[in-house]
Amino acid sequence: MGWLEALVLGLVQGLTEFLPISSSAHQSIVGHFFGGEDVGAAFTAITQLGTEAAVIIYFRRDIWLIIKNWTLALIGRIPRDDLEARLGWLVILGSVPIVVLGVLFQDAIDHALRNLWITAAMLAGFGLIIGVVDHFARNVRPLESLTWQHGIAYGIAQALALIPGVSRSGATITAGLAMGYQRVAAAKYAFLLAIPAVVGSGFFKLADISVDPVEPAWGPIVLATVVSFVTGYAVIAWLLHYVSTHNFMPFVIYRIALAALVVVLLLTGVLEPLAQLSPAQLP
């Protein structure tokens, strides 16, 4: 991987991770134009460490309060039904589905599911779902009313993001809207819920490629991760402000337009459904 490719992919990751348009889909599509090689699930997972670092810093006060109260509730120092303590348990519980499914279907996630026909179908299909749910959403429930059942539903929705084109934020925010939560509340919880799964996946892939016989391009990987952090932080602030007064229709239109473009490029042979893997990505 060259420095220019790393810079572009870092920008793509930072700009798309938190928007409901699928960062993994964009990484896969853009990566096809750099020598025809798929950047791979490992590169995507590692650069997501940059965007999750942005989440941790942006929500540092909320995260610290959740960790502190969860610990205090665990040892009986404060009531177990404390809001932040309950959020801590719900984040843990909601992370289970994506961890279990990620381990069980790791090979498919790394290879077969990165087919651009699947990506295009998910971009368009799930885009329509986002549009319909957002149109009929009640937007009344605050995050404080989050229940155990809804926490599990959030987690199941997040697991759908293992398929490129779905979008982690898109799936979790849509689940929140379907359950009646306010857009800002749904978006905020989507960010918090993603931290354990994304950070865990990133470090798992980091350890995986560090022992690969083919030396990874550490310099470009670090550059892409840093760039994704800077741009991701700005996108978080913008998105939370945007969803407080706007709906998700522009993202729905964008997803469908991008899906149509990908289909045209596939039919004309400009893109291949599965780009060739680099030596480091071969099973």
Give the number of domains in the chain: 1
Cβ(140)–Cβ(182) under 8 Å? Answer: yes
Cβ(91)–Cβ(192) under 8 Å? Answer: yes
Quote the CA–CA distance of 197 and 177 in Å, as a whole number.
21
Cβ(23)–Cβ(165) under 8 Å? Answer: no
Q: What is the 3-state secondary structure (H, E, C) of the chain?
A: CCHHHHHHHHHHHHHHCCCCCCHHHHHHHHHCCCCCEECHHHHHHHHHHHHHHHHHHHCHHHHHHHHHHHHHHHCCCCCCCCHHHHHHHHHHHHHHHHHHHHHHCHHHHHCHHHCHHHHHHHHHHHHHHHHHHHHHCCCCECHHHCCHHHHHHHHHHHHHHHCCCCCHHHHHHHHHHHCCECHHHHHHHHHHHHHHHHHHHHHHHHHHHHCCCCCCCHHHHHHHHHHHHHHHHHHHHHHHHHHCCCCCHHHHHHHHHHHHHHHHHHHCCCCCCCCEECHHHCC
Full-model pTM: 0.86
Tell me the CA end-to-end span of the chain in Å, nearest whole number.
Answer: 19
* Predicted local confidence at residue 37, as pLDDT: 62
Quote the CA–CA distance of 108 and 242 in Å, as a whole number.
35
* Predicted local confidence at residue 110, as pLDDT: 75
List the chain pLDDT tens, one digit each, 283 residues: 688 888 999 999 999 999 999 988 898 888 888 766 666 666 777 888 899 999 999 999 999 999 999 999 999 899 988 989 999 999 999 999 998 998 888 888 877 888 999 999 999 999 999 999 999 999 999 988 999 899 999 999 999 989 989 999 999 999 999 999 999 999 999 999 999 988 887 787 777 776 666 677 788 888 999 999 999 999 999 999 999 999 999 999 999 999 999 999 999 998 888 765 444 444 4
* Predicted local confidence at residue 283, as pLDDT: 46
* Predicted local confidence at residue 12, as pLDDT: 93
* Predicted local confidence at residue 131, as pLDDT: 96
Look up residue 103 and give its amino acid. V
* Predicted local confidence at residue 41, as pLDDT: 63
Cβ(14)–Cβ(228) under 8 Å? Answer: yes
State phi, psi for 80 to the nearest 5 degrees: -70, -20
* Predicted local confidence at residue 282, as pLDDT: 43
**Structural domain boundaries, residue 48:** 3-281
* Predicted local confidence at residue 199, as pLDDT: 87
Cβ(205)–Cβ(46) under 8 Å? Answer: yes
* Predicted local confidence at residue 30, as pLDDT: 87
